[in-house]
Structure 1
């Protein structure tokens, strides 16, 4: 391969090219080009997804690019595919929403694709500075997207509550990186790992690990750094929430996996820390979701609980093979992208008459009036709750199986009990869709092709992904 940087980074180049093309389209064609923006964004994200999947299902690779600053392996390609999938779902669901709100612009889709490029860099980073560049490439568009509707107080509040914790998280990460560099003299992952191979680990390294864990916990919404998530996901537009809660979480956990598998020394002490955080995150996320009256806030708190489930995989790091941990995380994050992205996207249409604060009552009877939409939402809820044979079930199965195999049976049982607890508020939505009186008699506007495509992709993916895992 004469140009490995071009071939192996093709998903990244496609997302960057799409983002820049959308900016040029907006700048030179203005109003006339805005109608093309959704199609352009969808095509570029679909091309990036196809490129990542093609490379993912080909021969296993592990290549270093750009002077060893990037490492392209199966996990990086898998997260790259999940990021492109998250972008595609967010784009497809946003067209109807933005058109209805008269807020369709090319900048919106450019920001989504630029954030996606940041996710891909984070997943493939093999050096601390490159990691930080990817993080900022991801975070800055996210702040803008959260406050995209500048005429809404709740949107501005969401942006502010997302920006401030994000700045603190970045500060913690940078300080952790500085301590790690000071202790090892290198910013490259392999060099850091090699210098820490001795039995005597400086206290500075453990302190740097705590700072890095704190910063990443902010990014993925782990307890006790989760308070921003419900307010941001509730205040942002539903399609934006779909993107923020899926792609950003995938990138955050991918980054955490890279740091704690390939950089910091594996130790049972980290497992003890992860156990406490995982249990607290699962319980607080689920208990918070139980008492919510807003459906978006319920989904936001449930995203916190899912972060707790994902953290269970990190508990097994000192014993489990890194390949098994990477696989479990990738399967869960892909399933989570499909079911959560679909739920937020569908919610933007089902509750368009009360988008300011959609409650359970706003869903009353809509499953009977709109059978396909109701069926899709039911699939998402069953998958989020972990019912077989949905993708969500197999994601949780792989995580909990990993815990049981390496002596953390009690933790797996706690995770299963939390899944049963979450079934109450997920199934509550289905009850309102089919068993409660309809509260909104007016017909809602046509969903359009893009919305239907996003709905089909999310629904079929939430079901088919589970069957594909069973087959292979």
Structure 2
């Protein structure tokens, strides 16, 4: 791989996904309308797997710079590349049979998933704000279309329109923030912005810039009060699409937010951390209280995702070393358990999603015991029960907040975790309540082998992140060190290095 041009080597995963998506688009029109589109799905799976392998290979090549320094591939970006590739791979495996007999345009779904992944990966390795914007738009346009993929249903079209309109509005905030950052520092490069803050004569303009950028990215991660699109979009979009859009785009947006805050505006942490403190408290509280009122399962999980965005934002109020480490770990944990939960919903509810409310899930354990057990496991992890990834993720986040002196924010998070137990356990009790109306002996559809692999992978990842988190912690420690050392003081860099060494010991 070292013989390749740096511009090719740095973006090799994105190139692979792009070429695979183009190939899917070229093959799809040639197929007969009545023929299966599953081979296109397998092609997309193969391309995603190859992109993941390319990302893993980049981890051993050190830091790569490309396109005049606007692209930086290091341990931080490779971590998120692998995470996004894993989420896309699980989503594709879980939805290979989802469109069979229901949609002749399934090839578009596979191509859009790949193109969306390209944008997400591009965001995580961009260190220039305009390049970040390009990746954000590539990702957003794909998910806008996928949200309304069930064209025959009004809720699907409604979710797509709402997502597009509010997403465009949020993009304006992000762009205006970039413009103000350029006005305050004379550059849109994250490293140059960090250097320019030391000599800027307009610090208020710089703070306004980071505030607007946070607002724009706050929409992408469903942080309150920028969450109003989330319940309607989750309810109307297909279940596998919701599983994807609730994890991979959020991971990319959080990666960008980590780079911009801790690397681009480190000198203003005492200011923007207050803003993120408020957003974290609002997201946790509004998300959990909103979920209490929901009977629709997808809407409940939508409010749950708002709450988990709040838990993750708690990490941004910590010291840089702790904040980046815990945010990366929690992002991986949330991706595993949430995409797993929606993979189960995909298998249970099917294309038409006849099972919508909590009442519809009553007695499911008698009919689909294995799927119900997996669903229950993911719900327990979302609660934060010990020996699951959700517990260890919350433990790291709240510990980091306490180390930084944000004790009240940790208390708010713990109280909200207690509130969350109620609506998760309400769904759990319905799953294992005997239903008098349904025949438990009636034949049930079987889970395909690819979907079974996807479910097993997410369950295993959720379990391993809870009981053996050492491997991923070593990766995120390295990611935190390489992110901070480029712009922070030697003291901060030394603190990250000592943290990484202590964990490895």
Name the TM-score, length of structure 2 as normaliser: 0.88
Structure 1 residue 103 displacement after superposition: 4.5
RMSD (CA atoms) = 2.0
Q: Report the counterpart of residue 256 of structure 1 in structure 2.
A: 257
Q: Report the counterpart of residue 388 of structure 1 in structure 2.
A: 386
Instruction: Name the CA shift for 1:34/1:352 in 2 (closer, same or farther; >3 Å).
Output: closer
Give the distance between the partners of 1:309 and 1:385, measured in 2 at CA: 12
| 1:359 counterpart SS class | coil
Structure 1 residue 165 displacement after superposition: 0.7
Q: Report the counterpart of residue 453 of structure 1 in structure 2.
A: 453
Give the distance between the partners of 1:121 and 1:462, measured in 2 at CA: 26
Where in structure 2 are there 5+ consecutive unaligned residues? 475-505
CA contact (8 A) 1:231 1:297 kept: yes
Give the distance between the partners of 2:117 and 2:436, measured in 1 at CA: 38
1:329 aligns with 2:327: yes
State which of 14, 17, 27 in structure 1 corresponds to 2:16.
14
Q: Report the counterpart of residue 410 of structure 2 in structure 1.
A: 412
Give the distance between the partners of 1:62 and 1:107, measured in 2 at CA: 35
Structure 1 residue 361 displacement after superposition: 1.5
The superposition leaves residues 70-126 of structure 1 with CA deviations (integer Å, 9 ceiling, x where unpaired) of: 111111111111111121122122223211534452111110011111111111111
Structure 1 residue 62 displacement after superposition: 2.7
| 1:98 counterpart SS class | coil
| 1:71 counterpart SS class | strand
Q: Report the counterpart of residue 38 of structure 1 in structure 2.
A: 41
The superposition leaves residues 125-150 of structure 1 with CA deviations (integer Å, 9 ceiling, x where unpaired) of: 11111111100110000100001111
Give the distance between the partners of 2:195 and 2:29, measured in 1 at CA: 49
Q: Report the counterpart of residue 491 of structure 2 in structure 1.
A: none
Instruction: Name the CA shift for 1:150/1:391 in 2 (closer, same or farther; >3 Å).
Output: same
CA contact (8 A) 1:79 1:123 kept: yes
CA contact (8 A) 1:115 1:137 kept: yes
Structure 1 residue 178 displacement after superposition: 1.1
Q: How many residues align?
A: 466
Give the distance between the partners of 1:353 and 1:42, measured in 2 at CA: 20
Give the distance between the partners of 1:371 and 1:308, measured in 2 at CA: 32
The superposition leaves residues 131-178 of structure 1 with CA deviations (integer Å, 9 ceiling, x where unpaired) of: 111001100001000011111100000001100110001111111111
Q: Report the counterpart of residue 369 of structure 2 in structure 1.
A: 371
1:426 aligns with 2:428: no
Structure 1 residue 201 displacement after superposition: 4.5
The superposition leaves residues 411-447 of structure 1 with CA deviations (integer Å, 9 ceiling, x where unpaired) of: 1122122112111211222211112416443533332
Instruction: Name the CA shift for 1:299/1:8 in 2 (closer, same or farther; >3 Å).
Output: same
State which of 354, 359, 362 in structure 1 corresponds to 2:360.
362
CA contact (8 A) 1:351 1:363 kept: no
CA contact (8 A) 1:309 1:399 kept: yes
Structure 1 residue 199 displacement after superposition: 7.6
CA contact (8 A) 2:401 2:407 kept: yes
Structure 1 residue 64 displacement after superposition: 1.6
Q: Report the counterpart of residue 285 of structure 2 in structure 1.
A: 283
Give the distance between the partners of 2:325 and 2:32, measured in 1 at CA: 44
Q: Report the counterpart of residue 227 of structure 1 in structure 2.
A: 228
Name the TM-score, length of structure 1 as normaliser: 0.94
